[in-house]
Chain A
Amino acid sequence: METKNMTQEQISALVDNELSDEQVNLALAALRQADGRDAWDIYHQIGDVLRSDEMAHDFSPDFTARLMARLDAEPTVMAPQPKQVAEQPSLVAVGGGRSMSVAFRRFGAPTAMAAVAVIALIASPQLLVGLKGDSAKDSSSTQMVASAGLDQRGSLQNVAAQDITVSAATQNGVLLRDPKIDEYLLAHQRFSPAWNSSAQYARSATFASGTAK
């Protein structure tokens, strides 16, 4: 029982990126167990729900397996190294010292996760198409997903691929409320006409209260 608790603690720390290198190996080994996987999933879900209420929903049981299978089936796209990767370290270098390397690690993980999330979000409508059958259409849409995903990372300025991204995202993509989006809502409502000034501020306040500002 105690070892189980300890493992879960390790996995929790792994999710938060707070493990030392030696501990990481142990935690990764724990993830091979079903228990460990479940803990990993649940800690991520807790994190998601803390960030946004709208993340509070269950995935179908075999979601991960299906997503992984789809990713495996995707063609490998050869593309030049994205520019952004080069930009990030320069930002890190400015501060210097040990705290900055920690900062980089902290920033690194969410960025990688965000990239995965972007791909997952774009892939999911296509997944639905895939599940409905029609394999010919299916394979072509996979192709589109790959190029659209690349475009998101800014490495390709392909106009055709971009159009696809736009239509796919604006039809199916529902954005989640996050602090960044709250900023736009706030900036808009600050200048939106309201019945009297009180309504205007009350509106802003609704958004501001949820934001760590």
Chain B
Amino acid sequence: MISMRRKKWSLQLAVVCFALVALSAYADNGDALTDKQTDKQNAQAWLKKIQLAAQKLNYSGTFFYQQANQVSMSRITHVFDGKNELDKLEILDGKPREYIRRNDDVACYMPESRTIMLEKGFTQKLFPALLAANSADLTEHYDVSKVEGGRVAGYDCLIITLQPKDNLRYGYRLWAERNSGLLLRAQTVNEHNDVVEQITFAQVVIGGIDRNNVRPSFPNTGSWHVEISPVMEANLTGWSVTAVPPGFKKIHELKRMVSDAAPNPVPGAIVTQHEVGQMIFSDGLAAISVFVEPGSQSRTEGSLQQGATNLIGKRQGDYWLTIVGEVPAAAIRNVANSIEFKSK
């Protein structure tokens, strides 16, 4: 008797399921298909809107950045005067740091050592332009969709989701303010849909920001030590990386001098330097860096995961390679195993 009942139940269930499938299939054949397409275009348009909003709006707010078990809090103030973009970012946790950006040039103020570090000409080419230029390509490697969202920092939001089409990149969920498109929260999610890293405004004011708010907070920096960041464009001839994930393109080749100082340098000791090359690949959302340097020192090979960031350090012949990126460990491994050097 009991078994009869069970059979009857399962039969009913099957009928209901079938009906549901049939119904949804029917719906898909109709207008729903074109709706989906416009949804997708809509979502892409929102990606562009997010990008533009970050550049063209004036805003000021406090945000959290959380990565694995680390959290840090910062305050950003952004002003666009019609021609120039001005940013002031204050790091509120740990060591005091202040970054003042004017278009391509960034000055980092380090009060405890009374130092200003200048970096010129790299920012603009890379960050904001990148996503905008690639947002059509993005749909080749991500399913982009738009869903209704909740509130973030008191503002109503829409959520744009980017679901990766392979296992060589993470997914993203972006909360954009409904009217302006300003990004108020971004989450990086792994294949189980767990958040591995996120950044979110706790409080933000959009519009009506005074230009004086993007000046450095330190009154007399005339006597401060000014350093120019030792990074330059370079050509790392002979090195090739063949297995970057599809859609990743080389966006930069750089060289920098790195000092070999011990963590606690002894005063008076001579600090030697060596050159480190860096190749950067990106799909517009994530990036992978390959660092190449002469490998004379003894170092431990291995890997590291920190939030969305994965790292592998390995020796190759006379060189030491470090591969870093905000992509899953499998992607970093592929890259690490595909690096070749051919001397001409």
Chain A: residues with CB nearer than 8 A to chain B? 84, 91, 94-95, 97, 99-100, 102-103, 106-107, 110, 114-115, 117-118, 121, 152-154, 162, 165-166, 169-170, 173-181, 183-185, 187-189, 191-203, 205-206, 208-210, 212-213
Give the contacting residue for B199; candidates A169, A173, A181, A195; CB below 8 A: A195
Kindly list chain B residues whose C-beta atoms are within 8 Å of the C-beta of A174. 302-304
A-B contact pairs, 26 of them (CB 8 A): A95-B268, A99-B267, A99-B268, A103-B269, A107-B266, A166-B314, A169-B301, A170-B303, A173-B303, A175-B303, A187-B256, A188-B309, A188-B324, A188-B325, A191-B252, A193-B126, A193-B127, A193-B131, A193-B285, A193-B286, A199-B186, A205-B65, A205-B93, A208-B97, A209-B95, A212-B263
Give the contacting residue for A200; candidates B127, B254, B324; CB below 8 A: B127
A205 and B72 form a contact (CB under 8 A) = yes
A198 and B311 form a contact (CB under 8 A) = no
How many positions in chain B have a CB within 8 Å of any CB in the partner chain? 76
Given A103-B269, A193-B287: 20 more A-B contacts, CB < 8 Å: A97-B268, A99-B268, A100-B268, A103-B266, A107-B266, A166-B314, A170-B333, A173-B302, A173-B303, A177-B304, A187-B278, A194-B127, A196-B127, A198-B78, A199-B65, A205-B74, A205-B94, A206-B65, A206-B70, A208-B91
- The verdict on B174 contacting chain A, using a C-beta distance below 8 Å, is yes
| Interface of chain A: mostly helix, strand, loop or mixed | helix
Q: A205-B72, A208-B97 are in contact. Are A175 and B311 (CB under 8 A)?
A: yes
A185 and B72 form a contact (CB under 8 A) = no
Give the contacting residue for A202; candidates B54, B74, B131, B282; CB below 8 A: B74
Give the contacting residue for B266; candidates A102, A117, A154, A187; CB below 8 A: A102
A91 and B87 form a contact (CB under 8 A) = no
